[in-house]
Amino acid sequence: MREEDPLLQQAMAGFWPALGVVDPVRIQAWDNQGLTIGQLRLLSVLAVNESRTVGELADDLGVRPPTATGMTERLVRQGLIERSGDPADRRIVRIMLTDEGRRAMREIEDAGRAFLAPIFERLGPQKVQELIAIFDEFVKAARAIQEEARAKAMAGVVP
């Protein structure tokens, strides 16, 4: 699809308001935890992947390792993540969520669930099933594009 494609324009016209409805709830939950969006992204990566090195986090977040190091420093000071040696290789330092970090992520997820549950209920089971399938395809397409961009960047190709 090209940017001027009417279908693409309609899709974007529906996408942005949908995000706009949900974002204030999410932003309030992040703010209640004292987190920036970058810090939340880092915590989200750790919530999915039990532990990561700073280099892996940098790759996951699409930032340079010094940026990821700075982000981890602040989150360590906040008690949300911790560093630990890798038992297989003492030279490797792994970053993982603390109990406090897991609690913070649960609170953010709970706020999202509390907001979304009545919306999904109102849509009904069939629409929710359709939405799930669309979300799955959306995420797959987005991840494929991100991987392609990451591979090009690693190869030194500028998009």
CATH classification at residue 113? 1.10.10.10
Alpha carbon distance 58, 37 (integer Å): 15
Tokens of 47: 């919530």
Q: Which residue from 62, 31, 67, 25 is spatially nearest to 154, judged by alpha carbons?
A: 62
Residues 78 and 142 in one domain: no
CA–CA distances in Å: residue 37 to residues 14, 28, 41, 133, 147: 23, 11, 6, 27, 21
The number of domains in the chain is 2
- Contact at 8 Å (CB) between 139 and 113? no
Q: Are residues 87 and 28 in the same domain?
A: yes
Give the list of residues 6+ apart from residue 3 with CB closer than 8 angstroms, or none. Answer: none
- Indicate whether 116 and 131 sit together in one domain: no
- Which amino acid would we find at residue 135? F
The verdict on residue 12 lying in a domain is no
Instruction: Report pLDDT digits (tens) over 43-100.
Output: 999 999 889 999 999 988 989 999 999 999 999 999 999 999 878 888 888 999 999 9
Q: Average pLDDT in the 21-36 region?
A: 84
User: Is 7 a domain residue?
Assistant: no
**pLDDT per residue over 96-141, tens digit each?**
999 999 999 999 889 889 999 999 999 999 999 999 999 999 999 9
The dihedral of CA 111, 23, 17, 11: what is its sign?
negative
The range of the structural domain enclosing residue 129 comes to 124-159
Q: What is the predicted pLDDT for the residue at 158? A: 56
This prediction has a pTM of 0.74
Q: Looking at residue 129, what is its pLDDT?
A: 96
Of 110, 116, 112, give the one whose Cα is nearest residue 26.
Answer: 112
